[in-house]
Structure 1
């Protein structure tokens, strides 16, 4: 294996570690809501009352607010100094943060730890993707970025599937031990195989890139799309896992994990392929098509119960057990409640006919976003590399995302408690559709009708 490929693989490893930690917390959100039981809280100093819905929103917004604050200094440091060094620092911080997560015992400490996690995810994502874009050639950027994202999604699948099962068997503690260990492995791989970054950008490249016409055009879409993705990705597991009284389906841990993992699985499988296609057929076209499809699928999520009832979807997934295993007594040390293996096993616990349609819709969300994501990242990498500030270009990309990622969870919490669960997905889908419409109009107006396939 040549040195360049080893560098890519070390970056893929860091993306895997980052993705595992991120998705695990997303998967565990409904369980933290149930365990911490957020209620209306009055601040002792200001006398303001924060509703339970806003506290639930802060479980995600605390993470995204910290990301927003961290973007500019981290991106500036990456362009001004060695991106490899910055990546090593944030991976080391990540190992410490996840090792401390078991101390969480209240909403306040959970929000604080999520904020620290936000810094880690932002730093590792910015530096990792900047280095992938910098090492790759222009004509292959979307393909390599797609592979890096595929590593992230592979971790997301493993994390989401294992998180629910491990939580039900052992609680929160062992999960975070595994995440911390993965961050250490990512740190070692980066230290061993990634060459130091010798590029140096002086000044403040944010100011020039902020006026870049292509970046401004992409921003018209990305600003709105952030609301869509944050609402939909955050509330799909909440919809699956919270109690029926809160508008959810009250599924068990494994069922929630599979719902989350399906989006990641389809996205992981498609991104290297769609990234390669966007390198050859026009990245703006893939942004437009993927964003529009995502919005349409999001609008269908609340109809999963109706779809399941209409097509006669089963309310239980049953696995027949071979006769040689049926009746076998299980060892006492296994984290299973069965005294002996029955002739049939009911997978995923008690579910409803909405389960399979919800899993299918989650998979379609992943396919739709796989068209958009590598193409969008490659466009930002192109502009940043040409103007001498690839980390700052990705930093601008992150900043454009931040208003939606900060406000959307608060909006979603309010919608969930005050209007209903379905309204979260209707609003999320609408943001995606208005985003692609705005992007198309500005693209044609400023850059001509051929820009959709030429970019």
Structure 2
């Protein structure tokens, strides 16, 4: 009896210790997401403050359009360059040590933002932020995938993603208010504190990572059958999500003459928050469901539903006119008939993506864990997303100006549907009737 009681206590202590490690990683995911979304929200203020019109490099004047583009592209390019070395380091060395390094870098970078005094310095610090964000994202997801069992992997990843979405909601809604009340410096002080707390948590509570992968896992994983099947979907789906997620707020806030609804800024923020909130809440449950019923099924269902909802967005005005949703509300102001249906459809986009995302991530983690390189597997996942995230907005911008606002969502939805179509076709060719339940 006594011996069994001790064993039970030991097992309970082990489970509590494992849970604590996951909570530390969730906190890290929250801190990284809060910093990212806060900077994204403050970009218009930096554009106004730094005067990109007057930027010169080595005495040569640089166009304002190029400089404004580099405010975001500098961050994205640094992320792209950092993916492979960060993922390799995570597999070759202790992921905990790498995570501590990038969290320390992140804290230092956010402490530097209040010192920005020119567009060049802002772009440089944004690039460093991109390196820190990429490293933190890769290491936290890799460690969550590695620490979780195969039966709980999507559930744990879903909770980690939910923490990041929660940070996105808090960050996007609070950044503007904090700036108006206190200025730039206190905002970055909050982010530095969050990053520091995450660093202390990782240092004090996360066990060292014993895995060491020699060689270059990318070369084997890049031709892995399951990863190739996933990338056939993900490469197309990246266009869909980037286009649709970017253009929902553009559709809401752009002037009516340009095909938009012309609502005020807070109303635009509500459309964005609706998608993030439903995605966050959904991933608390859908990851566990995909662990039980199969990951491929949830990728297919979530991706397909996302495409169908995206295609429905241009019908928001017809839906609203039929139901009678044009109204005036406190704070939000006068709202056209299309607005409330757009908010509802944005929420449905979050629901659909909450089915797809944890299942997709768990599939990559499964392959990395089984074939020597969780960080490299997530690195491939990240790289496959890049073409769509860069080219998607260029395609959508051309469509909006040259064709119509509606065409943006039709094309975005079509990318999602062709992605799930390719995914299903490959699975069906391999597994037949068991296509969506084999994985």
Q: TM-score range by the shorter chain?
A: 0.7 to 0.9
Aligned partner of 1:23 in structure 2 is: 37
CA distance in 2, matches of 1:172, 1:243: 29
Query: Scaled by the length of structure 1, what TM-score is found?
Result: 0.84
Aligned partner of 2:433 in structure 1 is: 449
Checking the alignment, whether the CA contact within 8 Å between 1:94 and 1:183 is kept in structure 2 is yes
Aligned partner of 2:22 in structure 1 is: 8
CA distance in 2, matches of 1:313, 1:288: 33
Aligned partner of 1:347 in structure 2 is: 331
CA distance in 1, matches of 2:378, 2:207: 20
CA distance in 2, matches of 1:306, 1:30: 33
* Pair 1:169–1:251, CA change in 2 (3 A): farther
Aligned partner of 1:304 in structure 2 is: 316
The alignment's C-alpha RMSD in Å is 3.0
Aligned-residue offset at 1:132: 0.6
CA distance in 1, matches of 2:134, 2:68: 22
Aligned-residue offset at 1:372: 0.4
* Pair 1:412–1:291, CA change in 2 (3 A): same
Aligned-residue offset at 1:314: 4.0
Aligned-residue offset at 1:133: 0.8
- Matched residue count: 425
CA distance in 2, matches of 1:40, 1:430: 41
Aligned partner of 1:226 in structure 2 is: 238
Aligned-residue offset at 1:199: 0.9
Instruction: Pick one of 133, 136, 145 that aligns with 1:124.
Output: 136
5 Å matches for 1:192-231? 192-231=204-243
5 Å matches for 1:4-403? 4-28=18-42, 52=65, 58-102=70-114, 110-170=122-182, 172-243=184-255, 247-317=259-329, 346-349=330-333, 351-403=335-387
* Pair 1:171–1:111, CA change in 2 (3 A): same
CA distance in 2, matches of 1:235, 1:107: 26
Of Structure 1 and Structure 2, the greater helix share is in 2
CA distance in 1, matches of 2:334, 2:177: 15
* Pair 1:169–1:432, CA change in 2 (3 A): farther
CA distance in 2, matches of 1:169, 1:118: 27
Q: Which has the higher contact order (CA 8 A, sep 6+)?
A: 1
CA distance in 1, matches of 2:263, 2:38: 17
Aligned partner of 1:425 in structure 2 is: 409
CA distance in 1, matches of 2:320, 2:54: 36
CA distance in 1, matches of 2:316, 2:180: 26
Aligned-residue offset at 1:56: 6.1
Aligned-residue offset at 1:386: 0.6
* Pair 1:409–1:57, CA change in 2 (3 A): farther
Deviates more, 1:90-99 or 1:29-38: 29-38
CA distance in 2, matches of 1:13, 1:269: 17
Aligned-residue offset at 1:65: 2.1
CA distance in 2, matches of 1:42, 1:436: 46
Aligned-residue offset at 1:253: 3.9
CA distance in 1, matches of 2:319, 2:70: 32
Query: Scaled by the length of structure 2, what TM-score is found?
Result: 0.87
